[in-house]
């Protein structure tokens, strides 16, 4: 404004890849009464240093200063008429020859967009490449700002389109500036702040008056850009994982749930033939475990540097794989090696649990037939910090589910498969009843097991457990049966009715994840005197002695 004195301004840096609604966002900030904006002030330096071709290259270089450090000093951080200066930057324009002041001064944020939505649009003006998109540079910007202790907020273009007001309010709060409603609307057409390149890139945004766009379907994605999409997505996903979650027009967004054990937030998981971070540990949508729950699994516990009953669990895994007619199964040595590598990489040598899964593998096309499985099995080793999942000192409560345990006529429980819907339905009943687990009966009404564990009762000093006709013949179950005999107690394996459990002196359940869990109430009936019984305590102690003293040792890490 004429006659107004120039002074120091506070600079706000917006970093993005091309075609990420960065121009719309620049127009938004330009509506503020306290803001001046600069459209890609480092573009001239970028073209001069890199030699990149553009239809407007010569005109741009004749009108924009191509001395990057001069631009940083005199233009980006120069004196101004307003309180704030908004600088729209493409991440690829931050070249190594630029002064560190660019990153150290001002307030920074990052704008991201799914490359699926970027590539088609970018391709209409310039043939895209990974370097042209600059997603790798955007990750570098984020990393450098983090190292400087200046953690930048990240907003996703899709959130900006879905709820511009909430997204901009959150961004302004992070930047320490007041939100203005004027940021939500602008006049259509070219703007005085537009760069020289506007006629090539800004045709669509010139038609807009805000962030809301009509609902429409995108044109088919060009298959020629498929490899570039695969190359770019990991960088977008890495940044998206750290994006700011905003309040939507439908109410507050769901915050990330709290983990039962916070230390499990950062895990390394074995998938296929490699270790991956927790959020990257995924299987294909064409994998049999996704297509039909077609997989086998085992649960393993780690005690004092040893894996308890490893060989027994691997025996059962291979038995299940054979019964399911898996092909190209990894060798015992390969699976054991993957288990050791996963535990060592996570530093897990005690109080940990492994969910070991072997799927039939990825299919060449969706469908039920194992004939489509031509890639070999998929191995998953998910190790977590996990104490026993039940209260083994005070006891748990059970209810009886109406869902029956499936018969060998349907799916033989001796195949330890991943198709667990039968058990899940029973667990849902237990959850609704606010019980720890649910007892499942066989087709004749006799007790089989719970939805997750085998079950034992004590009556007049004798111990009984159901036959493994309908229930899984658990490895912890077998271990406990051996301990009962070793303790010179009487063991009966027989059909047991539900009323016998209701009137038992003691009841406990067994499983790798929960160990030995006393049961103090079933269907509202107090078991015994409602406290953990003496025989239960005796077997619990014997089990602890065994887990402390046996198992396959985890190899000691070797420095390389």
d(CA 529, CA 446) in angstroms, rounded, equals 24
Is CATH 3.30.465.10 the right assignment for the domain spanning 263-385? no
d(CA 110, CA 139) in angstroms, rounded, equals 10
Compute the C-alpha angle 391/395/401, nearest 5°: 100
Output the pLDDT for position 249.
40
Element holding 352 (H helix, E strand): strand 352-359
pLDDT of residue 247 exceeding 50, the answer is no
Compute the C-alpha angle 465/470/476, nearest 5°: 50
For residue 449 the two structure tokens come to 């097991």
pLDDT of residue 252 exceeding 90, the answer is no
Output the pLDDT for position 560.
61
Q: What SS3 class is residue 375?
A: coil
- Stretch 114-121: mean pLDDT: 88
For residue 5, name the pLDDT band (cuts at 50, 70, 90): low
Count the neighbouring beta carbons within 10 Å of the beta carbon of residue 499: 10
For residue 122, name the pLDDT band (cuts at 50, 70, 90): confident
Output the pLDDT for position 215.
62
d(CA 404, CA 438) in angstroms, rounded, equals 11
For residue 176, CA distances in Å to 68, 171, 286 come to 28, 9, 46
For residue 59 the two structure tokens come to 């005109």
Q: Is 8 exposed, middle or buried (0-12, 13-18, 19+ CB in 10 A)?
A: exposed
For residue 254, name the pLDDT band (cuts at 50, 70, 90): low
Give the position of tokens 């609902």: 215
Count the neighbouring beta carbons within 10 Å of the beta carbon of residue 508: 30
d(CA 516, CA 476) in angstroms, rounded, equals 9
Strand order in the sheet with 107-112: 35-39, 84-90, 10-16, 107-112, 154-156
- Provide CB contacts within 8 A for 197, sequence distance 6+: 40, 43, 54, 56, 60
Output the pLDDT for position 250.
41
pLDDT of residue 310 exceeding 80, the answer is yes
pLDDT of residue 362 exceeding 70, the answer is yes
- Stretch 93-98: mean pLDDT: 93
- The answer for 259, left when phi > 0, alpha when psi is -120 to 50, beta otherwise, is beta
Give pLDDT tens digits for 170-217.
Answer: 999 999 999 999 999 999 999 999 999 999 999 989 999 999 765 667
Output the pLDDT for position 246.
54
For residue 127, name the pLDDT band (cuts at 50, 70, 90): confident
Compute the C-alpha angle 260/261/266, nearest 5°: 120
Among the listed ranges 123-132, 298-307, 420-429, which one has the minimum average pLDDT value?
A: 123-132
Cβ atoms of 83 and 37 within 8 Å: the answer is: no
Cα of 305 vs its chain's centroid, Å: 28
CATH architecture of 10-242: 3-Layer(aba) Sandwich (3.40)
In sequence order, the β-bridge partners of residue 33 are none
User: Between helices 115-123 and 226-240, what is the axis angle to 10°?
Assistant: 140
Give pLDDT tens digits for 382-435.
Answer: 999 999 999 999 999 999 999 999 999 988 999 999 999 999 999 999 999 999
Q: Are strands 10-16 and 35-39 parallel, antiparallel or unpaired?
A: unpaired
For residue 13, CA distances in Å to 65, 119, 164, 246, 548 come to 19, 24, 19, 20, 58
Output the pLDDT for position 324.
97
d(CA 329, CA 342) in angstroms, rounded, equals 19
Give pLDDT tens digits for 402-412.
Answer: 999 999 998 89
DSSP 513: T
d(CA 59, CA 61) in angstroms, rounded, equals 6
Output the pLDDT for position 1.
41
Output the pLDDT for position 6.
76
pLDDT of residue 105 exceeding 90, the answer is yes
Give pLDDT tens digits for 487-543.
Answer: 999 999 999 999 999 999 999 999 999 999 999 999 999 999 999 999 999 999 999
- Domain segments of the chain as ranges: 10-242, 263-385, 396-548
For residue 106, name the pLDDT band (cuts at 50, 70, 90): very high
Is CATH 3.30.300.30 the right assignment for the domain spanning 396-548? no
Output the pLDDT for position 439.
98
Cβ atoms of 450 and 420 within 8 Å: the answer is: no
pLDDT of residue 4 exceeding 70, the answer is no
d(CA 468, CA 484) in angstroms, rounded, equals 17
Give the position of tokens 């729950």: 293
For residue 7, name the pLDDT band (cuts at 50, 70, 90): confident
- Provide CB contacts within 8 A for 522, sequence distance 6+: 397, 398, 399, 400, 439, 501, 502, 507
| Residue 51 phi, psi (nearest 5) | 75, 15
pLDDT of residue 32 exceeding 70, the answer is yes
For residue 219, name the pLDDT band (cuts at 50, 70, 90): confident
Number of residues that make up the chain: 560
- Provide CB contacts within 8 A for 205, sequence distance 6+: 23, 24, 27
d(CA 25, CA 114) in angstroms, rounded, equals 16
For residue 312, name the pLDDT band (cuts at 50, 70, 90): very high
d(CA 459, CA 504) in angstroms, rounded, equals 5
Give pLDDT tens digits for 16-25.
Answer: 999 899 999 9
pLDDT of residue 450 exceeding 90, the answer is yes
């Amino acid at each position: 404004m004429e006659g107004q004195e120039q002074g120091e301004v506070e600079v706000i840096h917006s970093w993005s890849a091309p075609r990420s609604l960065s121009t719309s966002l620049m127009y938004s900030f330009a509506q503020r009464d306290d803001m001046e904006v600069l459209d890609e002030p480092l573009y001239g330096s970028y073209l001069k240093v890199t030699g990149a071709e553009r239809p407007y290259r010569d005109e741009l270089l004749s009108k924009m200063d191509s001395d990057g450090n001069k631009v940083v000093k005199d233009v980006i951080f120069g004196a101004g008429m307003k309180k704030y200066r908004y600088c729209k930057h493409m991440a690829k324009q931050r070249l190594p020859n630029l002064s560190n002041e660019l990153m150290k001064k001002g307030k920074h944020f990052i704008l991201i967009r799914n490359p699926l939505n970027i590539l088609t649009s970018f391709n209409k003006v310039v043939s895209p490449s990974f370097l042209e998109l600059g997603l790798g540079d955007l990750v570098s910007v984020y990393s450098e700002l983090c190292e400087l202790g200046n953690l930048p907020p990240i907003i996703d273009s899709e959130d900006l389109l879905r709820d511009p007001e909430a997204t901009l309010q959150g961004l302004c709060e992070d930047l320490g500036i007041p939100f203005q409603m004027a940021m939500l609307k602008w006049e259509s057409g070219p703007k005085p702040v537009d760069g020289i390149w506007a006629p090539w890139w800004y045709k669509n945004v010139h038609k807009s008056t805000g962030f809301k766009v009509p609902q429409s379907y995108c044109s088919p994605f060009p298959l020629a850009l498929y490899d570039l999409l695969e190359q770019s997505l990991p960088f977008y996903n890495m940044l998206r994982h750290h994006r700011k979650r905003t309040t939507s027009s439908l109410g507050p967004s769901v915050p990330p749930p709290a983990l039962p054990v916070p230390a499990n937030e950062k895990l390394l998981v074995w998938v296929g033939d490699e270790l991956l971070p927790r959020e990257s540990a995924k299987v294909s949508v064409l994998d049999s475990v996704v297509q039909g729950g077609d997989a086998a699994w085992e649960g393993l516990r780690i005690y004092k540097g040893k894996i308890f009953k490893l060989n027994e669990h691997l025996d059962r895994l291979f038995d299940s794989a054979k019964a399911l007619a898996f092909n190209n199964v990894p060798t015992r040595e390969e699976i054991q090696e993957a288990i050791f590598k996963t535990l060592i990489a996570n530093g897990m040598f005690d109080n940990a649990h492994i969910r070991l899964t072997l799927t039939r593998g990825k299919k060449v096309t969706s469908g039920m037939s194992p004939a489509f499985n031509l890639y070999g099995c998929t191995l998953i080793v998910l190790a977590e910090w996990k104490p026993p999942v039940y209260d083994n000192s005070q006891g748990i409560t059970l209810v009886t589910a109406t869902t029956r345990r499936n018969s060998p006529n349907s799916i033989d429980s001796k195949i330890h498969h991943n198709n667990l819907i039968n058990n899940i339905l029973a667990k849902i009943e237990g959850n609704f009843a606010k019980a720890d687990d649910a007892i499942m009966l066989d087709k004749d009404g006799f007790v089989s097991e719970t939805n997750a564990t085998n079950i034992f009762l004590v009556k007049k000093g004798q111990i009984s457990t159901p036959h493994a006709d309908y229930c899984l013949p658990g490895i912890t179950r077998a271990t406990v049966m051996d301990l009962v005999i070793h303790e010179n107690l009487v063991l009966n394996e027989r059909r047991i009715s539900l009323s016998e459990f209701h009137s038992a002196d003691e009841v406990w359940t067994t499983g790798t994840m929960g160990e030995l869990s006393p049961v103090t109430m079933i269907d509202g009936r107090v078991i015994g005197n409602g406290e953990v019984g003496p025989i239960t305590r005796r077997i619990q102690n014997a089990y602890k002695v065994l887990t402390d003293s046996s198992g396959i040792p985890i190899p000691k890490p070797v420095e390389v």
